[in-house]
Structure formats: C-alpha cells, structure tokens
Structure 1
Amino acid sequence: MEDSQKENTASKVYRAEEQHYSALANRRQDTAYDQYLNSFIKLEDKRYLPNANAINQLVPLRAAVGTVVMTPTQFRGVHFSPLGTCFNFSELGVSNDPLIMALVAREQPNATKAISTILFVSTRDSRGFNVSGYIDFEQSLRRFRIAGSKSHPWADIFAGRRRLEPNEQDLSFITWSNGRLFSNDSDNYKVVPDALKGLCFSHKGDGSMLSIEKYITEEHPLCKFIESPKHGSTVVYDHHVRRKT
C-alpha cells in the first residue's frame, strides 16, 4: 500500500514537470514566431494599423512578391525539430522507471532548446566495471537519430530494453577500474576544468558557466538525484537557456 502511494506521488511529480517544461517550450516557440513576423513589419504598418494583432494578421498579405510567410505550424517544423523527425523517441514506448519518467518530461523541451539537460550517470557497464560520466542529453538524442548505433540507443533505453551507460564520446567519462578519463566538448557545452570549482561546463548558446559538481554537492534546486533499479545513480541537471539580448 505504501509503495503504491509512493509510485502515485512520483508519477504526479513527473507529470507536473512534463507540463511545466512543455509550457516553457510552447512559450519559447510563440515568442520566436512573433519575432519572425516582426521581421516583415514596416514602419508605416505601425503608423496606420491599430494594434499588434491587426499587424500580424496582415503580414502574410503584405509580404513582398515571391516571399512566403510561414504559418506557426510550418515555422515550428523548420526551426524546432533538432531531432529531424516528427516524433520523440519516448513516443515509441517507455518503461515505468523513475529515471525514464524524468527523461520523458525533458525530451521535448531539450529538443526545442527551452532547457539543456546534463545527466551525471554512475553505474556498471556491460562488463561489470564501475563507470561514470556526464552526458549532454539533447546532443545524445540527436546523435542517435543521425548515427544510430554509434550513440546511446535511446529508443531501447526509453522502452527498458537497454541500460543508460556513459561512454568515451560523452562530455566526461571515467572507468574507475583503471582510472582512464575522457572529456569532449559537445554541440551545447565546452568542458572547462577549474582547479577551485572542479569540472565546469560553459553553455555555448548563452555563455553561462555551470559548475556542475558544486551544484550537485550543494543540492542545487535545478539538480534532481534519481536512484533507478535498472540504471543506477543519476543526477539530472536542468539549465534554463537564456536568450541573448
């Protein structure tokens, strides 16, 4: 009975997170589309039309000959589909696992660049060795779509058929049995070792310097510690991408 109540509470938390990040992504897309429409607006439009709604409705009619003004749906399809598909991997089926539930809530917001999630995974690899590493979630999703087996097999991970294991291609990776350490810049982050702050990542999009190890140690509110029976210990860090002004 107690376990059932815990599962229900966890499910409500993950649903709330999914709704929050989905709303965040939608607001970001709406803002981007408004900026796109504004690029077609002329000075005389603002002088003679009564309000912004009227201006936006007339933009497609006032575009120069040969210019096509995209609808909101067309705009989202062109500018907010980093995975290159019309579906998310989680839509192919998910397992009832605490880590997977958390990643499902973050898949679409990462794909649309509303947030940028770094995963710290500590587990055993297929040979039984203790390994840990930091994974750029958005890049890993996109690489699997492009390169398939050369990246983390997200379709199988979401479905519960495979375990999530960091590897030498990720932001940072260490095999504890021999102390071998690897680090790589990703499309979203530059790896910045710091003698005082520890391992840091600089977000290439907004320039933020993220001291991940400090956030984990101090239990930063944007960090979530998740124990998964299948995937081991994981820390999920969400960076809210700031728009450059």
Structure 2
Amino acid sequence: MSRGLPGQASPQVEADRRLLQYCSYDDYLDSLNTTQDECYLQSVEASRAIAELGYRSSGETLSKEQFEKRLAAVLLYLYPPYKPYESSSEGITKGDPLQLDLALRERGNRVGILSTIIFLRYYTKGGFEISGYLDYGEKLTKEDWKPFFRGTF
C-alpha cells in the first residue's frame, strides 16, 4: 500500500474510506440494490447476486475478496498496529549526568510527546572540529541504547 507523503493516505485508500459504512459484504451489495429490485425479484439473494455481477453499479463492483482487502487496507491506515517498546534506561539510578538526563527523556521521546535534539562536538588532535546533531527519538527507534545506559558501549 503506497501512502505517498508520511501521514497522507494514497488516493485508493481515500476513495475506499466509503467502505467503512458497511458492516459486511452483504451490506455493501444491499446498498447497490434499489427498491424495484426488492419488489420484482422478491429475493434478497437474487438481488445480491445481480449486484455482485455488476448490473447495479455504474462503476466498479467489488468482489468479496476485493472488498475485504480494501477495507483491511483502510483500517490498517486509520488504526496502525500498536508497537510496544522496551525501555532502554529501565532501572538506571546513577551514572553520567548525560545518561541520567537522557533516561528521563526516553519515554517522552518514544511516545512522541517530547522531541530531543542532541548536539555533539569533538575536536581532533589536529584541532579540527567534528560536530553533528542527533534526533534522540529517531535513534531510540532504530538503535539499541541499552549498552549506552549500562555503560558497556
């Protein structure tokens, strides 16, 4: 499923949001039928079969598999799976002031309510400066910080 920009749904997912109004595939097929179908056919199954064949829609009529697949894609976009995290700084009580401060900020950065940028500066023996910035929240999700907090890195 291609989403385009982060936080923005693909055009297909946006178009398929309408499927959320149906509790089941049968409800979707019933929405394609008219009152005339019910009057003349006298059978819900027959009217659903006609709708499933595409005779009651000017556009594309989805098969049951397509309906379930597209609805699942919309639900996945709207309600992404929860990913629990394990705290890297669990139980740290003493250590370097930087370790303690980053331990206090870890939970906030992991859940997204805090953003921390770390500025690093190093001078080589030749007197050159090497510096850079780290996004602490991004680094927490992509790297293992347990060795840093245990002092074994």
TM-score (norm: length of structure 1): 0.26
Give the number of the structure whose residues are more often strand, by fraction.
Answer: 1
Larger Rg: 2
